[in-house]
Amino acid sequence: MKIKGDIYSVGVVDKDVRIFHGYATPIGTTYNSYLIIDEKITLVDLVKAPFAEELIANIKKIVPLEKIDNIICNHVEPDHSGAFPKIIPLCPNAKVYGTLACEKELHAYYPETKFEFQLVKQGDNLNTGKYNLNFCPMPMVHWPDSMSTYLVEEKLLFSNDAFGQHIGTGQHLEEEIELSILLDQAADYYANIVLPFGGQVERLLAQLANRPIQLICPSHGLIWSNSCGEIIARYQKWAAGEVNQAKVVIVYDTMWHTTEKMAALIAAEFRAKAMEVVSINLQIEHYSYAMTQLLDAKYVFVGSPTLNNQMLPSIAAFLCYMRGLRPKDRIGMAFGSYGWSGESITLVQEQLKAAGMELLESRKALWNI
Ligand code: FEO
């Protein structure tokens, strides 16, 4: 599909993926790859290994692979490089462009694949004829190798994972979907992938500040056109850690409904204080949805009954996942029911404290309320 000028989208849709390293993707995702036709032909990013043949077929509809001169590898995570061992032998004239970390990771993942590599740094330019591609490394957004590439003449940013969304519905362009849905999906993606790297995102946004941007082509989901300014503003807000001081997220699991009843009472209590409350039962919702809600919430209350002297495994998984994503400056509370020993409340509290949270006094219920 032509995006603009001589730039094509040649990526693939993975409508079936439901868990993306721990993150629930109920509507699948895409692995976007872009082809730039110019005097020198450039391929930007690849796709996950099982989709290599589909990528090859998409490229062949536009140009024979042996005519590709440049392959830009903005990120080595295998959802964007898995096709590398199949693509490289078909592009004998191609040079691969990436960061130092990119080169090391490509050799580590694909030791049998021989390729010519061109190391690029911040501000380096690749001229392909009528187009100029500027390289903008963005380390730890979200891997050491991560990079974005700016196409000067079209004011277009190939942003890789940044500004992505896991939407595998087959749509390509922002105009094909309601903006509120697209922004919600981008928030979901930020909360579950990018959240630990706010400082690095701020550095990326500072790099981009002096560049006019009319199109953002991420490596997952839809291309931003009319709302580039809006999604950049949201990234600024999320990276700065701005939250709603009056929003509470309650995350719980329950055995015989006492912890569930506690969650309902806590929700009613905080709603009576004019606070927005989102209550998430992990028997129904995936924990990554809880992270999405926590993106802009000041408070997180976590409830688990005690089972075999422990918290419930669903709550342990959520806490482990949340700690990894490192939300900052939140206020937490542990609650839960118990029959005789009641360790879960202390265990949850310890995890919230280890996540750096200020804690409200925990709440316990014996047997029933
Ligand atoms: Fe979409 Fe970090 O891979």
Q: What is the pLDDT of residue 58?
A: 98
CA within 13 Å, CB half, 306: 17
How open is the CA angle 171-50-318, to the nearest 5 degrees?
75
Does the beta carbon of 220 lie inside 6 Å of ligand 1?
A: yes
**pLDDT tier, 340 (very low <50, low <70, confident <90, very high otherwise):** very high
Query: In Å, how far from its chain's centre is CA 222?
Result: 13
CA within 13 Å, CB half, 253: 23
Does the beta carbon of 48 lie inside 6 Å of ligand 1?
A: no
Catalytic residue among 80, 166, 172, 220: 220
Annotated active-site residue 161? The verdict is yes
Annotated active-site residue 16? The verdict is no
Q: What is the pLDDT of residue 361?
A: 98
Does the beta carbon of 174 lie inside 6 Å of ligand 1?
A: no
The answer to whether 155 touches 215, Cβ cutoff 8 Å, is: yes
Q: What residues are paired with 216 via a beta bridge?
A: 157, 224
Q: For atom 2 of ligand 1, which residue has the closest CA?
A: 77
Please name the amino acid found at residue 317: A
Annotated active-site residue 220? The verdict is yes
Q: How far apart are CA 98 and CA 93, in angstroms?
A: 17
For residue 143, give the ligand 1 atom closest to its CA.
2
Q: List C-alpha distances in Å: 183 to 171, 174, 178.
A: 15, 10, 9
8-state DSSP, 125: E
CA within 13 Å, CB half, 34: 30
Annotated active-site residue 80? The verdict is no
Q: For atom 1 of ligand 1, which residue has the closest CA?
A: 161
Q: How far apart are CA 86 and CA 49, in angstroms?
A: 8
Show the tokens assigned to 175.
């105009």
Does the beta carbon of 45 lie inside 6 Å of ligand 1?
A: no
Q: What residues are paired with 252 via a beta bridge?
A: 281, 303
Q: Which residues contact 269 (CB under 8 A, 6 or more apart)?
A: none
Annotated active-site residue 172? The verdict is no
Catalytic residue among 38, 45, 145, 161: 161
Catalytic residue among 21, 112, 178, 361: 21
Rounded to the nearest whole angstrom, what is the distance from the C-alpha of residue 168 to the centroid of ligand 1? Answer: 15
Annotated active-site residue 189? The verdict is yes
For residue 219, give the ligand 1 atom closest to its CA.
1
Give tens-digit pLDDT for 241-261: 999 999 999 999 999 999 999
pTM over 0.75: yes
Computed over every residue of the chain, the mean pLDDT equals 97
The arithmetic mean of pLDDT across residues 28-41, rounded, is 98
Does the beta carbon of 219 lie inside 6 Å of ligand 1?
A: yes
Query: In Å, how far from its chain's centre is CA 320?
Result: 17
Which residue spans within 116-214 are E strands per DSSP? 116-119, 125-127, 132-137, 147-151, 156-160
Annotated active-site residue 21? The verdict is yes
Q: Count Cβ atoms below 10 Å from residue 270 Cβ, excluding itself.
A: 18
Give tens-digit pLDDT for 51-96: 999 999 999 999 999 999 999 999 999 999 999 999 999 999 999 9
For residue 161, give the ligand 1 atom closest to its CA.
1
Q: What is the pLDDT of residue 310?
A: 98
**pLDDT tier, 265 (very low <50, low <70, confident <90, very high otherwise):** very high
8-state DSSP, 177: S
Q: For atom 3 of ligand 1, which residue has the closest CA?
A: 77
Q: What is the pLDDT of residue 306?
A: 98
Give tens-digit pLDDT for 199-222: 999 999 999 999 999 999 999 999
Q: What is the pLDDT of residue 331?
A: 98
Q: What is the pLDDT of residue 10?
A: 98
